[in-house]
Structure 1
Amino acid sequence: MSGRWRPGPKPSARWRPARSRRSRSSLPELAGKTAVVTGASSGIGAAIADRLEAAGADVQRVSRRGPVALDVSDRAAVTAFLERLDRLDILVCAAGDNLPARRLEQLTGEAWDRLLGVNLTGAFNFVQAGLQKLRKAHGDVLLVASISGQWPDLSGPAYQASKAGLIGFARAAGLELRAEGVRFSVLNPGAVDTPIMDKRPSPPPPELRARMLRAAHVADAAIFMLGLPPEAWVPELTILPTRLQALGDTWSQPPPRSE
Structure 2
Amino acid sequence: MTLSNLHEFLGLKDRHVLITGAGGGIGRALVAAFTAAGAVVSGADRELQSMSELSLAYRLVFDLTSRTQVHEAVNSFINDQGTPDVLINNAGFTRGETLDQVDGDVWEREVSINLNGAFHVTTPIVDAMSKRGSGSIVFISSVNALSHFGNPAYSAAKAGLISYVKALAVERGRYGIRANAICPGSVRTPAWDHRLQNQPDLLARVLPHYPLGRMVTPEEVAQATLFLASSAASGITGTALAVDAGLTAGNLRFINDVLAGEN
Alignment of 1:181-220 (within 5 A): 181-197=176-192, 205-207=202-204, 208=206, 211-220=214-223
- Aligned AA (1:239): V
1:126 Cα deviation from its structure 2 partner: 0.8
Instruction: Tell me which residue corresponds to 1:51.
Output: 33
- Aligned AA (2:145): G
Structure 1: gaps spanning 5 or more residues: 1-18, 253-259
Q: 1:93 aligns with which of 89, 92, 98?
A: 89
Supply the RMSD in Å over aligned alpha carbons: 2.6
- Aligned AA (2:72): A
Query: CA distance change for structure 1 residues 20 and 173 in 2, over 3 Å: closer, same or farther?
Result: closer
Instruction: Tell me which residue corresponds to 1:256.
Output: none
- Structure of higher CA gyration radius: 1
1:197 Cα deviation from its structure 2 partner: 3.7
Structure 2: gaps spanning 5 or more residues: 52-59, 208-212, 255-263
Distance 1:176 1:89 in 2: 18
1:185 Cα deviation from its structure 2 partner: 0.6
1:195 Cα deviation from its structure 2 partner: 3.5
Aligned residue-pair number: 230
Q: Is the 8 A contact 1:143 1:166 kept in 2?
A: yes
Q: Does 1:167 align with 2:170?
A: no
SS of the equivalent of 2:173 reads helix
1:94 Cα deviation from its structure 2 partner: 0.7
Q: 1:176 aligns with which of 160, 171, 177?
A: 171
Q: Does 1:63 align with 2:45?
A: yes
Query: CA distance change for structure 1 residues 98 and 149 in 2, over 3 Å: closer, same or farther?
Result: same
Instruction: Tell me which residue corresponds to 1:122.
Output: 117
- Aligned AA (2:157): S
CA displacement 1:20-60 (0-9 Å, x = unmatched): 54476576521112111111112222211221111121211
Q: 1:247 aligns with which of 215, 232, 249?
A: 249
Question: Larger helix proportion, structure 1 or 2?
Answer: 2
- Aligned AA (2:243): I
SS of the equivalent of 2:249 reads coil
TM-score by length of 2: 0.77
1:78 Cα deviation from its structure 2 partner: 1.6
Give % identity: 27
Q: Is the 8 A contact 1:78 1:129 kept in 2?
A: no
- Aligned AA (2:137): V
Alignment of 1:16-55 (within 5 A): 21-22=3-4, 29-55=11-37
Q: Is the 8 A contact 2:83 2:125 kept in 1?
A: no
Distance 2:102 2:71 in 1: 30
- Aligned AA (2:36): A
Query: CA distance change for structure 1 residues 226 and 159 in 2, over 3 Å: closer, same or farther?
Result: same
TM-score by length of 1: 0.78
Query: CA distance change for structure 1 residues 246 and 128 in 2, over 3 Å: closer, same or farther?
Result: closer
SS of the equivalent of 1:88 reads coil
Distance 1:114 1:78 in 2: 16
- Aligned AA (2:227): F
Distance 1:43 1:25 in 2: 24
Instruction: Tell me which residue corresponds to 1:238.
Output: 242
